[in-house]
Amino acid sequence: MDLDTTNLVVLILALLISITIHEAMHAFTGYWLGDDTAKLEGRISLNPLKHIDPFSTLILPIITTIAFGIPILAAKPVPFNPNRVKYEEFGAALIAVAGPLTNLVLAILSALFLNILNPSLISNTYLWIHAFVQLNVALFVFNMIPIPPLDGSRVLYAFAPEALQNVMAQLEQFGIFVVFGLILLVPQFTDLLVNIDEAILRFIT
């Protein structure tokens, strides 16, 4: 999709929808597991203003999509109290995986909807929905990278031995820079993410 003014607006709207539902599901899952921390902060909400950060949620993904072909972004983290969540590390893993799985479900549902559209008759609508599918698959893949503080690291942490858990805890504060460094400086890592994206897209479309 060419990133002209109209398509940039569509991209921003798609990001707002995808990120908002992603973060709301983190918050809802935490509440479902017994922790009302996020609920008290108003994060079980479909109001995008509750979840977005102007730079990391809106500006950064547009820049990285133009430069590298994949959106790199982050919303405001959803807080939770690990001492109040059921099932300890596994509860935290459920909270973490709820967001990326939501993006995957959005992608699958949108891909199913594409099957009833005729791309030759409603070309712009078709392309925009297809872009929404691609965006949500990319969000799923990116967030499931098992490096702190991304969601995938919480899943790995729940099953990791104590020694690896300690390493991951130390990596938490600056791990996102490791992720960005891998994406920007290690072509093989970026190629791996793109290949996973494409494999999932082929499967669901």
Active-site annotation holder among 23, 41, 172, 198 = 23
Is 23 catalytic? The answer is: yes
Cα distances (Å, whole numbers) of residue 187 to 83, 143, 149, 180: 40, 18, 22, 12
CA dist 129 and 113 (Å) reads 9
**Rounded-to-integer distance, Cα 181 and Cα 128, Å:** 30
DSSP H/E element including 55: none
DSSP labels for 92-142?
A: HHHHHHHHHHHHHHHHHHHHHHHTTS-TTTSHHHHHHHHHHHHHHHHHHHH
The residues carrying an active-site annotation are 23
